[in-house]
C-alpha cells in the first residue's frame, strides 16, 4: 500500500461531528500528555518526507515501512515477535509486510529515516520553533529517562536510538518514545485484564468515539474474529447492544487508570512543568492536524 492510499484511509474526516467520548472525559495528567503528543509523535508514521526517503531506497509500500520502522526498535526480530510487539494487528496482516520491509531496507537505513525525516516535516509545518522545541525536549527527556522499562519492549528499544541533533527531529523522537511507552503499558494492562488483541481493539474504538467495528477492521481482523470478540465482551457484560455498558465504561476506565499508573514515573519526573509543556505540545499538535500533517478525526487522535 503506497503512502497516498494510507493517507486516504486514515486522514478522512468523520462524516459528521462526533459526540463526546468517554476518552475525552478522562483528563488525567498522563492522558492529557498522551493526547497532546499524538500528532507530533505520529510524524514518525505520517511524514511525507519519510515516505519519499523510503521509496528512494526501494521501499515504496508505506504500510511495510510503517511496520518495519516501528519493529526496528527491537533490532531485526523474528516475525512472530514483530507481530506480538505491535499488539493489536492481525498476524496475517503484519507478518508479510514486516518481512517485505526488512528485506527491502536495512535496519540502519529505516532507523536513520525515522529519526531524521519527521523533523523536516515538523519544520515545514511549524516553522522555526527551535528554541521552544529544545526546551520541550529537555523536559520530555526528564520523563523518558525516569520511565520504567519493564514490559515496555518498543519503548526500551527506541531508547537505545541516538538522539537527533535537530531540535524538531528530537521533539518528534521524544514524543514517539512516550507514545510507545504508553502503548506498551496499555497492552500490558489489557493482557492482565484478560483481553485478547481484538477485544482490546473493540473496547478502545467504543471508548474513543467510533461506532462498533468501524475502527477495528483497520487492524486486519476478519469479520468472524471481530464478531467472536464482540460476543465475548457481551458475555462479560462489557458491551450492551453496540455500545459500552455501564460495567464496560467502568472496566475501560480502570484500564486507562492502570495505564496512567504505569506512567507515573514519567509524570513525576516532568513535575510542575507538565501543564505548560502539555499545553505547548497540544498547540503544536493542533497546528499539525489543522495543516493536514496529522489525521483530523478526534477519535483517531484519541485511539492512537
Position 16 confidence tier, pLDDT thresholds 50, 70, 90: confident
Give the lowest-confidence range in 6-10, 167-171, 232-236.
6-10
Over pLDDT 90: what percentage of the chain? 95
Position 15 confidence tier, pLDDT thresholds 50, 70, 90: confident
Position 6 confidence tier, pLDDT thresholds 50, 70, 90: confident
The residues, any chain, with a CB within 8 Å of residue 77's CB and separated by 6 or more, are 71, 85
Query: To the nearest whole number, what is the mean pLDDT of the chain?
Result: 96
| pTM listed for this prediction | 0.96
- Give residue-wise pLDDT tens across range 244-257: 999 999 999 999 99
Cα dist from 4 to 11, 63, 97, whole Å: 10, 11, 17
Please classify residue 92 by burial: count the beta carbons closer than 10 Å to its beta carbon, then call 0-12 exposed, 13-18 middle and 19+ buried.
exposed
Q: Is the pLDDT of residue 238 over 80?
A: yes
Over pLDDT 70: what percentage of the chain? 100
Position 194 confidence tier, pLDDT thresholds 50, 70, 90: very high
The cell 502503548 sits on which residue? 183
pLDDT given for residue 299 in this prediction: 93
Distance CA 266, CA 145 (A): 8
Amino acid at each position: 500500500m503506497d503512502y497516498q492510499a494510507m493517507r486516504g484511509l486514515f486522514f478522512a474526516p468523520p462524516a459528521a461531528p462526533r459526540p463526546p467520548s468517554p476518552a475525552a472525559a478522562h483528563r488525567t495528567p498522563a492522558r492529557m500528555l498522551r493526547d497532546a503528543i499524538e500528532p507530533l509523535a505520529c510524524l514518525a508514521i505520517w511524514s511525507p518526507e519519510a515516505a519519499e526517503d523510503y521509496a528512494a531506497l526501494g521501499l515504496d509500500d508505506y504500510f511495510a515501512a510503517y511496520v518495519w520502522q516501528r519493529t526496528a526498535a527491537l533490532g531485526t526480530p523474528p516475525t512472530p515477535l514483530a507481530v506480538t510487539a505491535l499488539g493489536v494487528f492481525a498476524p496475517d496482516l503484519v507478518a508479510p509486510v514486516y518481512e517485505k520491509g526488512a528485506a527491502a531496507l536495512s535496519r540502519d537505513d529505516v532507523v536513520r529515516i525515522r529519526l531524521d525525516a519527521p523533523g523536516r516535516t515538523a519544520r515545514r509545518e511549524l516553522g522555526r520553533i527551535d528554541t521552544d522545541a529544545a526546551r520541550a525536549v529537555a523536559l520530555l527527556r526528564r520523563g523518558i529517562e525516569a520511565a520504567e522499562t519493564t514490559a515496555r519492549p518498543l519503548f526500551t528499544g527506541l531508547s537505545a536510538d541516538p538522539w537527533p541533533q535537530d531540535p524538531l527531529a528530537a521533539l518528534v523522537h521524544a514524543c514517539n518514545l512516550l507514545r510507545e511507552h504508553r502503548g506498551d503499558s496499555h497492552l500490558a494492562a489489557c493482557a492482565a485484564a484478560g483481553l485478547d488483541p481484538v477485544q482490546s481493539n473493540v473496547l478502545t474504538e467504543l471508548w474513543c468515539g467510533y461506532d462498533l467495528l468501524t475502527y477495528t477492521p483497520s487492524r486486519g481482523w476478519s469479520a468472524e474474529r471481530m464478531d467472536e470478540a464482540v460476543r465475548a465482551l457481551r458475555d462479560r457484560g462489557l458491551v450492551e447492544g453496540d455500545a459500552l455498558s455501564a460495567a464496560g465504561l467502568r472496566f475501560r476506565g480502570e484500564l486507562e487508570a492502570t495505564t496512567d499508573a504505569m506512567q507515573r514515573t514519567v509524570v513525576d519526573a516532568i513535575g510542575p512543568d507538565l501543564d505548560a509543556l502539555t499545553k505547548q505540545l497540544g498547540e503544536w499538535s493542533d497546528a499539525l492536524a489543522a495543516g493536514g500533517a496529522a489525521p483530523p478525526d478526534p477519535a483517531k487522535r484519541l485511539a492512537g
